[in-house]
Amino acid sequence: MTSPSVLDLAPVVPVVVLEDAGDAVPLARALVAGGLPAIEVTLRTAAALDAIKAIAAEVPDAVVGAGTVISARNVSDTVAAGARFLVSPGWTDTLLDAMKASGLPFLPGVSTTSEVVALLERGVTEMKFFPAEAAGGTAYLKALSAPLPQARFCPTGGISLASAPSYLALPNVGCVGGSWMLPGDAVADRDWPRVERLAAEAAALRG
């Protein structure tokens, strides 16, 4: 990929699920203020595309991306909404072709060695490792680093503030994805100062 690496923007990429697109801009501003500019808005809700549009238009310091991208239609819809990177939980040849054709940085999801090798064969070296904790966690990624040092990962799935440092210490991990800085009650209460404080804690994981 010739585009800037998503893996190098921040130590943590917040994984955002929004039910109300009206919350997108203040939430994104809180995350950016806390030091987490790369924001993955997942396509799990009807509000997701409008949320991406709003962040892209109104929070210039945010690098907003789309998560849970699982089809070529998802790719085209999120590109049109202003997404600046794409993340998928897994990949197929059809999806990979669509993500490559978008021209955006993308992180296709993997959870097995064979999937990693298949992506390397296709010229892709940056991937999402998902679901990280369930798929073997740091031990699995550490084991991959010797035979496949050219692959770099953003592990996501079950990672917390406490476990993130052990992932970030691995040579083949560029960043981690997580949602612990977006507790459900804080989002529901629109407690953006709390989100900013939690984002700052996450941003400090890599000095």
Neighbours of 26 (CB within 10 A): 14
87: left (phi over 0), alpha (psi -120 to 50) or beta: beta
Which of 121, 128, 133, 142 is flagged as catalytic? Answer: 128
Q: Is 40 annotated in the active site?
A: yes
Q: Is 128 annotated in the active site?
A: yes
Helix 93-102 / helix 72-81 crossing angle, nearest 10 deg? 20
Residue 176 host element (H or E): strand 176-178
Which of 19, 40, 133, 142 is flagged as catalytic? Answer: 40
Report which residue type is found at 67: G
What is the distance between the alpha carbons of residues 102 and 24, in angstroms, rounded to a whole number? Answer: 24
- Residues classed as catalytic: 40, 128
